[in-house]
A and B are shown apart, each in its own frame.
Chain A
Amino acid sequence: MKTRTIGDVTVSAIGLGGMPLSIEGRPDEAQAIATIHAALEQGITLIDTADAYHQPGTHEIGHNESLIARALESFHGDTADVLVATKGGHLRPEAGAWAQNGDPAYLKEAARASAQRLGVETIGLYQFHRPDPAVPYADSVGALAELLDEGVIRMAGISNATVDQIREANEVLGGRLVSVQNQYSPAFRSSREELVLCDEMGIAFLPWSPLGGITNAADLGSKHAVFAEIANARRITPQVLTLAWELHASELVIPIPGSTRPQTIMNSATAATIKLSVDEVQRLDAAADAA
């Protein structure tokens, strides 16, 4: 498995996104564990989660973190190199609603609860999930700085952040910001600016929902038809091609596609070994820009 770097930690170039294993429509526990195990067997060493990945309500906060902890515990191989990246600051009190809480005291408490669910003393990577308009951004990120200093978390990241917020967070963290996780896909290119900034700053960029817009790429008249064309010529799927295209955007990009079954993550993992030509990347960029 090809690797990339988050902070000072080497991780697989493709990570596993944990969300679909715990929200509405999730598979049963056996299938969820099998999916995580298949990812680990394939050499994936980055798993992204959040305390808010659970079914709506307050009865099972941290479902995904606990699930991942169980999967790692029951895995037959070595998991010492696996980086579990979790997040705090988002809440799912009811169906259809994602609320924010960026209160520093809350975040510090949430991080400790996450560590407990993950069964670790120190969280490998903790990300502030989404800016809370009710709390100054610097205050929320300041909680992560304190968590770093207190040894509750080893690395700090942010998610759903703008260019200005990335700069601000890195300042608040005293240059210790290691990752930014934003939505990024052929259909969602507006965070291209943040990707470019992360590349300049040497900060890992984790695209979430990296396959947006690709399901229908093969449809007649699709804006993303070029993805289907090139994929067909290479005899790979548009999904795998899309992840490879994202990996070509910068050495700091690490897509984290979600998966609810072994095959999907195994397919996704193959993207790490694909080399695209300059011409292919240009055609894909143009198609994504035009869409």
Chain B
Amino acid sequence: MSPHENPRVTFPDGRTAPALGLGTWELGDDPRRRDDELAALREGLDLGMTLVDTAEMYGHGASEELVADAVAGRRDEVFLVSKVLPSNASRRGTVDACHASLARLRTDRLDLYLLHWRGGHPLEDTVEAMEELVAEGAIGGWGVSNFDVDDLEDLDRATGASSAPQTDQVLYNLVRRGPEHDLLPRLRESRTPLMAYSPVDHGELLDHPVVVSVAADLGVTPAQLVVAWVLRLAPDVLLAVKAGSVDHVREDAAALSVDIDDQAFAQLERAFPAPTGPVPLEVR
């Protein structure tokens, strides 16, 4: 199976990553599933999904340890993203948490380090810590996750012009189109890609009658359709799909070759209309 073409997405600092990557939410938690998950991650890397998204929260560190095994010996192929828990995101705590993540990942650097969601520590402190981590080479850049437009404004005020996030990772899919109204335009202004998660939502999209019928017309699976639908916005978006099994990863990778024609887009647009006003950001 030859890898499907995975478009490159450019971050504000000029670095690039593949648009379709691997997510590790809930991975590493169940020791009995570990072999399957490891195989799924390796399969994804082989298929060119070399952006790997993890977090210290996932599996309470177990997800990062699983990723360490998956990327062992091929770290340089991978664009590695992890996240700090808001409760750890103090000036000092962010730095410590990052080093703990690096140890679990058995690497000396992260390509991106994100604040997982907005918590109680002042944004100034978190960003200062992020800048320190960039300066020492522990991370290539920093970003945020689950930040809505007003959070980004607060972040701007906290950081001034000197520093800006490289991405905002948010819940975005066919049934959660809120970001299209205000968040995506705002990110586009600063040429900051949006990183989407949960393309299948909670699985409801996979048996939604319109998704099922449009997918059948195109000769693809429902999962491939909803993944391809998010990727239509590349290179303004990246997407991490959960690497739960080899089958899911293969199925999702093939979404890179799916061509959604105008008629199919129109059908999806009718069933899942774009927002006409602001919609508060949802978190999975």
Binding site for B on A (CB under 8 A): 30, 33-34, 37-38, 41-42, 75-77, 218, 232-237, 240, 244, 261-263, 266-267, 270, 273-275, 277
Contact = CB atoms under 8 A, between A and B. Distances in A.
Interface string B55-83: 00111100000000000000000000000
A263 B32 contact: no
Contacts of A273: 202
Given A234-B204, A261-B60, A273-B202, A42 B283 contact: yes
A270 B202 contact: yes
| Of listed A42, A235, A262, A274, residue having the most chain B CB within 10 A | A235
B183 interface: no
Contacts, number: 64
Interface of B: 26, 29, 32-33, 57-60, 85-88, 117, 119-120, 200, 202-204, 206-207, 223, 242, 244-245, 248, 283-284
Contacts of B60: 261, 263
Nearest to B59: A263
A289 to B, nearest CB: 23
Contact of A262 (B26, B87, B120, B248): B87
A277 B206 CA distance: 12
| Of listed B120, B203, B223, residue having the most chain A CB within 10 A | B203
A270 B200 CA distance: 13
A136 to B, nearest CB: 46
A262 B29 CA distance: 13
B119 A76 contact: yes
Given A33-B87, A233-B206, A234-B202, A263 B119 contact: no
Given A33-B87, A237-B26, A41 B119 contact: yes
Given A236-B203, A273-B202, A274-B202, A37 B120 contact: yes
Given A41-B86, A263-B26, 9 more contacts: A37-B119, A232-B245, A233-B206, A234-B204, A262-B87, A263-B29, A263-B58, A274-B202, A277-B207
Contacts of B59: 263
Given A262-B57, A262-B85, A267-B26, A76 B204 contact: no
A42 B171 CA distance: 14
A167 B204 CA distance: 39
B204 to A, nearest CB: 6
A225 to B, nearest CB: 14
